[in-house]
């Protein structure tokens, strides 16, 4: 009986030690999980903060680029206007004013003797209408 009692005590001690060990292990695991969750939340907050900052920076850069492109477009239009106004003011002919071979009349575009006006086609003073009539 003493042996059975000793064995029973040993088994109970063994079971208690096992359960205590499991409880400690579970508490350590849960603490580690909590720490991991906290770190995860902090990192998520940092990532979202950084993403918002990056989005703001990109938006600012794009607005700057847009402004610069507007200025560039306006400068180009002003430049074109200056060039066009200079072309109109000069009496020198440019390359655009030179006629090409397509502009030369061919023989079928020349007027014949029938198309030339004669003395009969000249208006007289009596043919001219006055304002009163």
Cβ neighbors of 94 (< 8 A, separation 6 or more) are: 87
Q: Report CA Rg, the chain.
A: 51
The whole-number pLDDT of residue 33 equals 94
The encoded tokens of residue 99 equal 């006629």
Alpha carbon distance 7, 60 (integer Å): 78
pLDDT in tens, 85-119: 766 666 666 677 777 777 777 777 777 777 777 77
d(CA 95, CA 113): 36
- pLDDT in the model for residue 87: 65
Long-range contact pairs involving 54-57 (C-beta distance under 8 Å, separation at least 24): none
Closest CA to 70 of 78, 81, 82, 60: 78
């Amino acid at each position: 009986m003493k042996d059975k009692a000793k064995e029973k005590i040993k088994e109970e001690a063994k079971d208690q030690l096992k359960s205590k060990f499991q409880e400690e292990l579970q508490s350590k695991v849960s603490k580690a999980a909590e720490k991991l969750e906290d770190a995860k939340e902090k990192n998520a907050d940092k990532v979202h903060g950084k993403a918002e900052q990056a989005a703001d920076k990109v938006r600012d850069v794009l607005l700057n680029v847009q402004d610069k492109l507007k200025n560039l477009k306006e400068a180009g239009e002003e430049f074109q206007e200056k060039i066009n106004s200079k072309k109109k003011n000069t009496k020198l002919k440019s390359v655009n004013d030179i006629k090409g071979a397509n502009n030369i009349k061919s023989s079928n575009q020349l007027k014949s003797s029938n198309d030339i006006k004669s003395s009969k086609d000249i208006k007289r003073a009596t043919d001219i209408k006055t304002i009163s009539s």
